[in-house]
């Protein structure tokens, strides 16, 4: 699959502002870090990484002629897990609607698409893995259907989760075409 997409300096500036606002809102409203599970992040860098991946996929979908219906990439308020089911919903050329969750990593070799255990209850139709190669260049590793994304559970990780190696991910058209055939 391996598609490279660059973000412009203007896009990176907008992402930084949105990520900063998201981080501040989450800090004000979240009780997640008050229970002693994990220390709260010190800044919004993690938010920037995730948001960059979302913007990369948005550019990719638009370039591929997909119509983005519900786009959360500009939202700044924090959502509860049950309300945060996907990053996008989009329609393909056959007008079928899909929900998509984007996962972004800085791991360059042997990256895994990681999905926390609790997300299975609120699964998206599709998942995507994006790698950050440098400040503005990102690689889309591929996509996977929810049924396959939840096949491998790794309880040995520090935070147990479902994982899929990047080599098992597919092109978006391969997945959408397969599902469209089943819908007919």
Q: What is the reported pLDDT for 42? A: 66
Task: Tell me how far apart the terminal alpha carbons of the chain are, to the nearest angstrom.
Answer: 26
* Segments of the chain with pLDDT less than 70: 1, 29-43, 78-84, 178-184
Q: Domains (ranges, CATH) in the chain?
A: 3-72+85-183 (3.40.1350.10)
User: Is there a contact between 91 and 66 (Cβ–Cβ < 8 Å)?
Assistant: yes
How many CA atoms does the CB half-sphere of 100 hold within 13 Å? 33
pLDDT in tens, 101-123: 999 999 999 999 999 998 888 89
Compute how many other C-beta atoms are within 10 angstroms of the C-beta atom of residue 108: 10
Asked if residue 143 lies in contact with residue 175, where contact means CB atoms within 8 angstroms, the answer is: yes
Q: Using a pLDDT cut of 90, give the percent of the chain over it.
A: 59
Cα separation, 131 vs 117, whole angstroms: 22
Q: What is the pLDDT of residues 76-103, one digit of tens each?
A: 776 655 556 788 899 988 889 999 999 9
pLDDT at 84: 63
């Amino acid at each position: 699959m391996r598609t490279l997409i660059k973000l412009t300096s203007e896009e990176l500036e907008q992402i930084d502002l949105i990520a900063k606002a998201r981080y501040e809102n989450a800090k004000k409203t979240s009780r997640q870090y008050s229970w002693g599970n994990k220390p709260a992040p010190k800044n919004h860098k993690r938010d920037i990484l995730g948001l960059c991946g979302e913007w990369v996929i948005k550019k990719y979908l638009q370039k591929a002629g997909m119509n983005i219906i519900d786009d959360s990439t500009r939202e700044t308020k924090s959502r509860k897990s049950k309300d945060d089911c996907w990053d996008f919903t989009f329609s393909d050329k056959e007008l079928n609607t899909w929900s998509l969750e984007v996962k972004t990593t800085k791991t360059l070799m042997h990256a895994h698409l990681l999905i926390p255990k609790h997300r299975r209850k609120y699964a998206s139709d599709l998942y995507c893995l994006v790698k950050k190669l440098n400040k503005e260049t990102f690689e889309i590793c591929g996509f996977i259907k929810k049924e396959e994304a939840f096949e491998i559970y790794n309880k040995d990780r520090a935070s147990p989760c479902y994982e899929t190696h990047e080599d098992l991910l597919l092109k978006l058209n391969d997945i959408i075409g397969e599902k469209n055939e089943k819908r007919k």
